[in-house]
Amino acid sequence: MSLGGFLDSSSSCSSGGRMVVGGGGGIRFPYNSSSGEESSIINMPSGAIAQPRLVTAASSLVKPVFSSPGLSLALQTGFESHGDVGRLGSGNFEADAEVVGSMMNRRSRDAPDQDQGSRSGSDNMDGAASGDDQDAAEKPARKKRYHRHTPQQIQELEALFKECPHPDEKQRLELSQRLCLDPRQVKFWFQNRRTQMKTHLERHENSLLRQENNKLRSENMSLRNAVRTPICNNCGGPAIIGEISLEQQHLRIENARLRDELDRVSSLAGRFLDRLPNSSLELGMGGNGFGGLQAPLPDFGAACGIVCSSSVMAPPMRSAAVIPGVDRPEERSMLLELALSAMDELVKMVQANEPLWIRGLDGSGEILNRDEYLRTFPPCIGMKPSGFVAEASRVTGKVIINSLALVETLMDSSRWAEMFPGLIARASTVDVISSGMGGTRNGAVHLMHSELQVPSPLVPVREVTFLRFCKQHAEGLWSVVDVSVDVIRDSPSGPPSITSCRRLPSGCIIQDMPSGYSKVTWVEHAEYDESQIHELYRPLISSGMGFGAPRWVATLQRQCQCLAILMSPAPSSDHNVITGNGRRSMLKLAQRMTASFCAGVCASTVHKWNMLGAAAGAGDQDVRVMTRKSVDDPGDPSGVVLSASASVWVSVSPQRLFDFLRDERLRSEWDILSNGGPMHEMAHIAKGQDHGNCVSLLRAAGSGMDSSQSSMLILQETCADASGALVVYAPVDIPAMHVVMNGGDSSYLALLPSGFAIVPDGRAAVTAPRGGALLTVAFQILVNSLPTAKLTVESVNTVKNLISCTLQKIKAAAAVAAECES
């Protein structure tokens, strides 16, 4: 049955035909060593099945047959010029192996020590030249080689991998026993998983590089064209030499820069595989560094001042050289991996329709189909903690801002916080994992921390640490995704953070539209501990009006409109002419006032509050009272500040409530500062087309500017959108305000804000036909100008009474209004 010695003798090769070479040479057995025996008992307790001898014998064929003397000779003599030689080692050997394998167990000499241990005695060289010798029966069926670990096993492996991608021997052994896997398999699995992770990242960054490269190339091309056929900027005709020289210099310099950048990107892309961990960083820095400028500059001289104009083009960059927060490369790559999958999920969440998102009954919003969601996406940051509930919302809106500007805003924590003043109590960038490519935000990954709020003492602040990943999909098309990282970031060194909220992949996709607008689709998806939220507010929060997409988009629209209005020249309709600087100063002051108001209502860590606990007020509502000591803060009156706040349900619509509270003529109905009469608006700065969005300066009637009894004005900011409204005011000193209105610095003006926050009650229209509102009222009062003073029971009671009275008056007035309405 054998053509013994076939492989040994070059002479017989010529008669053997290439089948032998193709079959024998290419065969490579998976289990050609002692591991063959172990691998065959995959998924079974060790040693459960002994591998049959013959298989082992067959497996002793060794791979690089090319280099075995006998065969290489055979190749030279018999097949040297044969076209098929190149395909040796490819093709489907399994079938051949089944037939031939058991007979061909000659060990090639260049692999002497691979399988000493498992070799069977029968080392005869056997070869099969023709198919007629198949003896399948003799060879016991090899265990099916292909096999995958069970989902449970993979899940456990993944779980451990999340915690530690590098388990030690002990951990692996423990896991292998638990999962009935060979310890070796566990080792392989981790090895493979790490490799896989790496290749994922490589692939992604590579594609980003390619994109960049293409962009630069086309840019370069068009610039070359422009240089070749100069066109006069003024008349559009062909330009004359003298006219274009400056323009040409610009182009040449720009071109040199581009060429340089292109080279760098290309070489980086080439070297890329070697240096993954730093590549994105270097790119980000390098792309921004304009190293290319230095070379061409001497040629043209610095006289043209191009250096400046070029560097202006570069967006401001945060230094990414030192990363204090995430220094372990594994952690870094895990975060990147997380960012990638979050982005993937966000894009799908934005694009998906029917099965995933279902239109709400009232047709207003969309509801996430949880079953479909769980089916579609692997749990990005692990399973939902028990006791948590999920909240998901999606909204699309047209916003007056372009994609680049919005991306810049989102990627800068302080600008981000300013854009969403009522929503974000504070925000910071903890770490820059990747700063983006070629001087843009494309590919930027930041680790951020923020506190999100809904203005009510009944809704705790949401503290979240998350990754923010920015990606450019095309010209004018960007997306920014956030995802919580508490799972990964919980280090053994620190106490496990008790988070009450996790953000699943959330964020927005921004697409440029004509005339400065962009289309923004926002998805907000979170899981939170509902037990910490008062029943009154649960419907609001779960509807997404609290922390969800509707509120983000509504705020964004309102704020962008405000910015757009500020850009345009002051409207003549403002009946008090304030200078541009004055407007800016007042708005800045108002911004600080509103932020301080929210901080007092929400007890965010912007201030260090001491809770006195919620106690029943004089009325039926709970009033939360807190105090803080204020020292050495120029914007804050020094002493003991007391904050009292309460939220109640009111039976009028949010709009009506807002209109009532912001009407200065009706102010005497609830404001003790009004001295019982109407107030007058002395200055008005519009912040939006809607008249409700403005900053104004009020004066109580009867207290003239010159009267010494009242040197007080009231600064008030009101804003409203679909997600809610704020009326915030603070008494201000007239002389100080005068300085501000002339554009002076407002940061030394001490403020203690009070006011109202209104949100819809969140229940469906069915249960509340006319639509109720949730009203929060809050006061901040200086109870003693000595920071060391003790708080007296009287002052606490006074402020509680103030809250109760105010609420009662408003409710009464609202009831009247509601009656008139119906």
Partner DNA sequence: CTGCTAATCCCAA
Partner DNA sequence: TTGGGATTAGCAG
Output the smallest distance, CB 182 to DNA, in A: 7
**94/243 with CB nearer DNA:** 94
In 318-464, alpha helices (H): 329-351, 370-376, 403-410, 413-419
Overall size of the chain counted in residues: 822
Which listed range, 1-9, 28-36, 628-636, 804-812, lies at the site for DNA (CB under 7 A)? 28-36
Q: Do 592 and 569 meet the contact criterion of CB atoms below 8 Å apart?
A: no
Output the smallest distance, CB 84 to DNA, in A: 15
- Total of chain residues touching DNA, rule CB under 7 A: 45
Which residues contact residue 215 at a Cβ distance below 8 angstroms, ignoring those fewer than 6 apart?
none
**187/534 with CB nearer DNA:** 187
Chain centre to alpha carbon of residue 13: 63
Q: Residue 89 has which token pair? A: 């080692």
Output the smallest distance, CB 276 to DNA, in A: 9
**89/787 with CB nearer DNA:** 89
Q: Residue 149 has which token pair? A: 């670990």
72 contacts DNA (rule: CB under 7 A):
no
Output the smallest distance, CB 483 to DNA, in A: 20
144 contacts DNA (rule: CB under 7 A):
yes
Output the smallest distance, CB 570 to DNA, in A: 56
Strand partners, 357: 368
687 contacts DNA (rule: CB under 7 A):
no
Output the smallest distance, CB 139 to DNA, in A: 14
**180/223 with CB nearer DNA:** 180
**93/779 with CB nearer DNA:** 93
Phi, psi angle pair for 510, to nearest 5°: -120, 130
Among 132, 137, 152, 168, binds DNA (CB under 7 A): 168
Among 48, 86, 166, 324, binds DNA (CB under 7 A): 166
183 contacts DNA (rule: CB under 7 A):
no
Rounded Cα–Cα distance for residues 718 and 696 (Å): 8
Give the burial class of 110: count Cβ atoms within 10 A of its Cβ; 0-12 exposed, 13-18 middle, 19 or more buried: middle
Among 32, 453, 561, 596, binds DNA (CB under 7 A): 32
Torsion (CA) 813, 816, 820, 822 in degrees, nearest 10:
110
Rg (CA), the chain: 36
Among 80, 169, 632, 819, binds DNA (CB under 7 A): 169
Which listed range, 146-154, 382-390, 490-498, 595-603, lies at the site for DNA (CB under 7 A)? 146-154
**25/460 with CB nearer DNA:** 25
Rounded Cα–Cα distance for residues 396 and 398 (Å): 7
Q: Residue 226 has which token pair? A: 């422009």
Output the smallest distance, CB 192 to DNA, in A: 4
Which listed range, 138-146, 294-302, 601-609, 797-805, lies at the site for DNA (CB under 7 A)? 138-146
* DSSP for 594-660, written as a single string: HHHHHHHHHT-TTS--EEEEEEE-SSSSEEEEEEEEE-S-TTS-SEEEEEEEEEEEESS-HHHHHHH
173 contacts DNA (rule: CB under 7 A):
no
Rounded Cα–Cα distance for residues 239 and 653 (Å): 65
Amino acid at 187: K
**62/741 with CB nearer DNA:** 62
**144/575 with CB nearer DNA:** 144
195 contacts DNA (rule: CB under 7 A):
yes
**179/326 with CB nearer DNA:** 179
Q: Do 479 and 470 meet the contact criterion of CB atoms below 8 Å apart?
A: yes
Query: Which H or E run contains 644?
Result: strand 639-650
Among 16, 22, 26, 443, binds DNA (CB under 7 A): 26
The HSE-up count of residue 717 (CA atoms within 13 Å, CB side) is: 27
Number of H helices, E strands in the chain: 26, 19
185 contacts DNA (rule: CB under 7 A):
yes
Chain centre to alpha carbon of residue 528: 18
Rounded Cα–Cα distance for residues 526 and 499 (Å): 12
Show the binding pattern over residues 412-441: x = contacts DNA (CB under 7 A), - = does not: ------------------------------
Which listed range, 27-35, 445-453, 678-686, 768-776, lies at the site for DNA (CB under 7 A)? 27-35
Phi-psi region of 693 (alpha: psi -120 to 50; beta: other; left: phi over 0): beta
149 contacts DNA (rule: CB under 7 A):
yes
Among 39, 105, 561, 668, binds DNA (CB under 7 A): 39
Q: What angle do CA 724, 729, 732 make, to 5 degrees?
A: 160
Output the smallest distance, CB 375 to DNA, in A: 14
Among 72, 76, 196, 576, binds DNA (CB under 7 A): 196
Which listed range, 31-39, 575-583, 584-592, 732-740, lies at the site for DNA (CB under 7 A)? 31-39
Footprint of DNA on 79-98 (CB under 7 A): 89-90, 92-94, 97
Rounded Cα–Cα distance for residues 748 and 512 (Å): 40
Q: Residue 414 has which token pair? A: 């302080």
Which listed range, 185-193, 298-306, 572-580, 740-748, lies at the site for DNA (CB under 7 A)? 185-193
Q: Do 562 and 684 meet the contact criterion of CB atoms below 8 Å apart?
A: no
Footprint of DNA on 265-304 (CB under 7 A): 273
68 contacts DNA (rule: CB under 7 A):
no
Footprint of DNA on 588-607 (CB under 7 A): none
Among 33, 403, 506, 780, binds DNA (CB under 7 A): 33
Output the smallest distance, CB 191 to DNA, in A: 5
- Closest Cα partner for 490 from 798, 162, 144? 162
Within a 10 A sphere around the Cβ of 659, how many other Cβ atoms? 18
Q: What three-state secondary structure class fits 168?
A: coil
Among 18, 82, 198, 259, binds DNA (CB under 7 A): 198
Among 56, 68, 114, 500, binds DNA (CB under 7 A): 114
Rounded Cα–Cα distance for residues 822 and 816 (Å): 10
**194/259 with CB nearer DNA:** 194
**185/806 with CB nearer DNA:** 185
Give the burial class of 361: count Cβ atoms within 10 A of its Cβ; 0-12 exposed, 13-18 middle, 19 or more buried: exposed
DSSP 609: -
- Which residues contact DNA by CB under 7 A? 26, 28, 30-33, 35-36, 39, 42, 63-64, 89-90, 92-94, 97, 111, 114, 144-149, 154, 166, 168-169, 182, 184-185, 187-192, 194-196, 198-199, 273
